[in-house]
A and B are shown apart, each in its own frame.
Chain A
Amino acid sequence: MEPIVEIRGLVKRFGSFVANDRLNLAIRQGEIHAILGENGAGKSTLMNMLSGMLEPDEGEILFKGKPVAFASPRQAVSTGIGMVHQHFMLIPALTVAENVLLGMKRGRGPLFRFKKACAEIRELSDRFGLDIQPEARVSELSVGQQQRVEIVKTLVRGAEFIILDEPTAVLTPAEVKDLFRVLRTLKAQGKTIIFISHKLQEVQDICDRVTVLRLGKLIGTQDLAGTTPADLARMMVGRDVVAPVRKAGVASGNIRLSVKGLHASVDGARVLRELAFHIREGEILGIAGVDGNGQRELSEVLFGLRQKDSGVIELGGEELHRQHPRGMTERGVAYIPEDRHKEGLMLQMSVEENLIAKEYRKRKFSQGGWISRRKVRECAEEQIGSFGIRTSGAAVPVGRLSGGNQQKVILARELMLNPKVIVAMQPTRGMDVGAAEYVHKRLLEARERGCSILLISTELEEVMALSDRVAVLYKGELLDTMDREAADLDRIGRLMAGIRPDTSCAI
């Protein structure tokens, strides 16, 4: 079949970092094509080039056999390429109709005719089974509905080639089903779809062919018929998933952290329900689950950044009431936040100043309100050495370091506290394999010292490799907790989709 989009020798660099290295790819008309790869594999970079958000450094893109060069998304859109971003490009204050028709020119006068616009959208919505209310305000819609608005946006603009960037990351399983139905309709009407994901099962379910990226390189493209998730996994990570060396059975009998009947809500909506778990000394409890099922809120509640509605949290047998981050730090709880740049570091401040961020008031670094520069510098040099942080000095702003080295700064800071408990939220997100392995090694070392670790990650492989026990978080509930030995990918995968062990179907 004729390729609708062809990519030849595409290269994209960011400084010395090669995000896409000489990619060649042909996408056929009317297929659903998966782009598979771990975080940081270069999927988003590739798609941003296809949709005109970024310009390639080398190579060319052909659309229906003709070379195209997009200086902006506008040009990509007018060529017939539509993109649904993972973070929706919607304006909450406006209505659906306004969002959809914003910026459209062809065949329109200067006036915005709301009624006509609504009729037009409703017609499209019916044709593709999207079920959209054009008059509604976007801020009132559910995530799934917002995604369908994004799809309508591309359709209205006559897109033949639609890119969906991690479309299922934010959806509930029911919404995923709906999305798949829509995608099949689109395919039936001749649209070509790129489906970016790192979830193997979904790719198997919906896609025709798959292309795997790893660390900026294209590993291969193949038909999905006849491949198994295990094959795909091997292509993605480049090796069979090997658990890092870990000593078994360090866990002693004492329960360090226990949570019972925990409820929490955001803006009145329940996000954590009836949570109960415990972690022993020297144990890692892994929390698996699809992004957006309450992970963030759980970590925030445990570290005192968010107040619980009800429930009991006990640390070392002592019940915690209203908590705040400083109190938790003093009780020996370390926290590795999900977003390094927003929550983990002050990027403009130096490495040494970031290292002392949690202990600057202690005797170790200051006295009578004065910070001892000498002590700070000594400590920083020591940590830079022991963690192998690549920087030309302790006074360098941490924002100038690479992502992996930034994470090492966070890790060094948290481990310096000699914590009893570590709440680690996506500790290796967006890092290359080597850096991720280093983080894993350090976490395991902490475990051997008797530290209790709550590892929250959407990377199932990571959870499986590190944890002593695994629990699955689904819609704010812990569905099941099991020993790692009893956990297999299949069982956890079902739980992540909300299928409980005791019932055949929970949705």
Chain B
Amino acid sequence: MREARKVNLASERWVKAVIEVLFYGGAVFIALLAGGLVMAAAGVSPLEAYRLIWDGAVGDAGSVKETLVKATPLLFAGLCYTFAYRCGLFNIGAEGQIYIGAMTGTMAALYVPGLPGYAHLPLCIVAGAVGGALWAGIAGALKIFKGASEIINTIMLNYVGIYLVSYMVTGPMKDPSGTLPQSARLPESALLAKLFDSRLHYGFVLAVVLAIILYVVLNRTVWGYEIRSVGFNKQATKVMGIPVNRNLLLVMLVSGAIAGIGGFVEIAGVQNRLFQNFSPGYGYDGIAVALVGGAHPLGNIGSAILFGGLRSGANAMQRMTGTSTSLVYVIQATIIVLVVCNRYWFGGWKRQLIAWLVNRYGSRRLPEELQTAHSASEVKISFNKGEEAR
């Protein structure tokens, strides 16, 4: 009996996974269609444009590497959002944390001279992490001690961070030997090594490793257990004796640190200097990455590569046709909407399909909870105001 149950559960899980993958594929497809419509309306041939994007993204080895280059900051940003989200926090501030992390990392790179690469680069990465962590920590602390919404505060901090970097590169950190508003070039000891003799750098490897670490932390460790508990039900978690506020703050710090590392990696791997507006909204793209990645650290890797490909492909397209890369934003926004709304539009339909498939191809019986899907717990109408007011 117990064996039969196990098989049943496993097959249900597989069916679910397949359906989810199909669904996300469908969402991406529809979003690309929407992007095509926009292009057609803007007077560009969608087929031609997508061919250019495809070639630019995966056409040859060089473009694949370029895709991974673009995927790197997106993956950091996606992980930043994902990690906070799993603890029930909305960190919309990856953008600002990327800027601050890039700034503090660059400071460590420029103002701590004379270290060998194996010491200097890690130091800079840590500095970037600390910068991002502090920036997110401000919002985290305000939430815990003052009850202020982390959503609003992280948004506000985005702009503060961007302007702060803008001030630094036009003022104190400006390259004394140049006229442009940018910092001096990072010393070799603080640069990320390149992979395969291309623009691709070790930052991508770092991001993937980080995704795996986060996955393991969330699913296998005591701390990850606490984080997920807090994310699902703060009140119950408190009753269980699990510290809620401490975890909220810690997660916010780590989430910011991830974005901060991402910011510095972008400087040390690609740009080599800090300047204004070096991020074209990676922080906001990270939300799309996280959502399409199912708020799962490993899923983020796939979605970051997808969006990285779109971006590098769109760059190629812009070079050829002059259509703005901003088209990517339209596609991203459409994907976000489709993914977020799927639960509401197709949730019931999907559940039925899964139940049917499990019934048809799994074991003979439905899992017990599916038979009594509407358990007594759902009988009462909730009289609460819904979620805690944000």
A residues bordering B, Cβ < 8 Å? 14-17, 19, 40, 44-45, 48, 53-54, 85, 87, 303, 305, 324-329, 335, 337, 340-349, 353, 356-358, 360-361, 366, 369-371, 373, 381, 390-393, 395-396, 399-404, 406, 430, 432
Contacts and interface: CB of A to CB of B under 8 A. Distances in A.
A17 B222 contact: no
Given A54-B381, A360-B222, A395-B9, A329 B375 contact: no
A430 B379 CA distance: 10
Contact of B239 (A335, A349, A396): A335
A476 to B, nearest CB: 22
Interface in B347-382: 367-381
Contacts of B373: 15-16, 400
Interface of B: 2, 5-6, 8-9, 220-223, 225, 228-229, 232-233, 235-243, 367-381, 383
Nearest to B217: A369
Nearest to B240: A357
A44 B380 contact: yes
A349 B229 contact: yes
16 contacts: A17-B374, A303-B239, A325-B240, A328-B241, A346-B229, A347-B232, A366-B222, A371-B225, A391-B368, A391-B369, A392-B5, A393-B9, A393-B367, A401-B375, A403-B376, A432-B376
B228 to A, nearest CB: 7
Contact of B375 (A17, A349, A393, A395): A17
Nearest to B380: A44
Contact of B378 (A15, A325, A381, A391): A15
Contacts of B237: 346
Nearest to B6: A393
Nearest to B216: A370
A419 B380 CA distance: 32
Contact of B236 (A346, A373, A393): A346
Contact of A17 (B228, B233, B372): B372
Given A15-B374, A348-B232, A371-B220, A324 B241 contact: yes
Contact of A16 (B5, B243, B367, B372): B372
Contacts of B378: 14-15
Given A16-B371, A391-B369, A392-B8, 4 more contacts: A391-B368, A392-B368, A393-B6, A403-B376
Contacts of A399: 377
Nearest to A45: B379
Q: Is the interface of B mostly helix, strand, loop or mixed?
A: helix
A369 B222 contact: yes
A-B CB proximity, top 3 nearest: A15-B374, A326-B241, A392-B367
Contacts of A303: 239
B99 to A, nearest CB: 33
Contacts of A403: 375-377
Contact of B379 (A17, A371, A373): A17
Contact of A341 (B221, B229, B377): B377
A473 to B, nearest CB: 21
A211 to B, nearest CB: 20
Contacts of B8: 392-393
A353 B232 CA distance: 12
Nearest to B233: A346
A14 B369 contact: no
A357 B376 contact: no
Contacts of A342: 233, 235-236
Contacts of B221: 369-371
A430 B376 contact: yes
B347 to A, nearest CB: 14
A406 B9 CA distance: 19
A503 to B, nearest CB: 38
Nearest to B239: A343
A430 B233 CA distance: 21
Given A345-B236, A357-B229, A329 B368 contact: no
Contacts of B243: 326
Contacts of B372: 15-17, 402
A370 to B, nearest CB: 6
Nearest to A353: B225
Nearest to A372: B220
B376 A40 contact: yes
B376 A404 contact: yes
Contact of A369 (B223, B229, B242, B368): B223
A481 B221 CA distance: 47
Nearest to A367: B222
Nearest to A356: B225
B232 A349 contact: yes
B379 A360 contact: no
Nearest to A393: B9
A381 B2 CA distance: 9
A325 B243 CA distance: 10
A361 B222 contact: yes
Given A346-B232, A393-B9, A404-B376, A48 B381 contact: yes
Contacts of B238: 305, 325
Given A329-B241, A371-B220, A53 B376 contact: no
A349 B228 contact: yes
Contacts of A328: 241
Contacts of B2: 381
B40 to A, nearest CB: 42
